[in-house]
Amino acid sequence: DAKTTQPNSMESNEEEPVHLPCNHSTISGTDYIHWYRQLPSQGPEYVIHGLTSNVNNRMASLAIAEDRKSSTLILHRATLRDAAVYYCILRDVMHNQGGKLIFGQGTELSVKP
């Protein structure tokens, strides 16, 4: 399974944009890039996913490098409720039986008022 690398922690100020990076240099052509976040003592929550093109939804934007070896999750205006652990995950439904998600350590985002 292809691996992802994320910083252990990041800090942000409330109402400022946050850019969470993820490196995935061994990504294959059939890997989708998924982002989830997890608040303490809760199950992970889906944020966004994409394959090649940049993606936007109500929660965030996903910017994918042209060579797909890295991606960035963008929270446009951080709020205190965005403080969580953010996981960048590669999901291969073609060759990875069951389309399972392989979680890494994630980035712990703290948001200061």
Partner 1 sequence: DGGITQSPKYLFRKEGQNVTLSCEQNLNHDAMYWYRQDPGQGLRLIYYSQIVNDFQKGDIAEGYSVSREKKESFPLTVTSAQKNPTAFYLCASSAGRADTGELFFGEGSRLTVL
| 109 near partner 1, rule: CB under 8 A | no
Query: Of the candidates 34, 37, 107, 111, which one interacts with partner 1 according to CB under 8 A?
Result: 34
Of 1, 18, 17, nearest to 9 by C-alpha is 18
User: Are β-strands 9-13 and 107-112 bridged in parallel, bridged antiparallel, or unpaired?
Assistant: parallel
CB of 58 to partner 1, least distance (A): 14
| 17 near partner 1, rule: CB under 8 A | no
Quick one: DSSP state of residue 5?
Answer: B
CB of 44 to partner 1, least distance (A): 5
Taking CB under 8 A as the binding criterion, the range among 11-19, 43-51, 58-66, 75-83 that sits at the site for partner 1 is 43-51
Query: Of the candidates 12, 18, 37, 44, which one interacts with partner 1 according to CB under 8 A?
Result: 44
Of residues 55-94, which lie at the interface with partner 1 (CB under 8 A)?
87, 91, 93
For CA atoms 99, 105, 106, 108, the dihedral sign is: positive
Quick one: DSSP state of residue 46?
Answer: E
Contacts with partner 1 by CB under 8 A: the residue count is 24
| 43 near partner 1, rule: CB under 8 A | yes
Distance CA 52, CA 93 (A): 15
Distance CA 11, CA 7 (A): 11
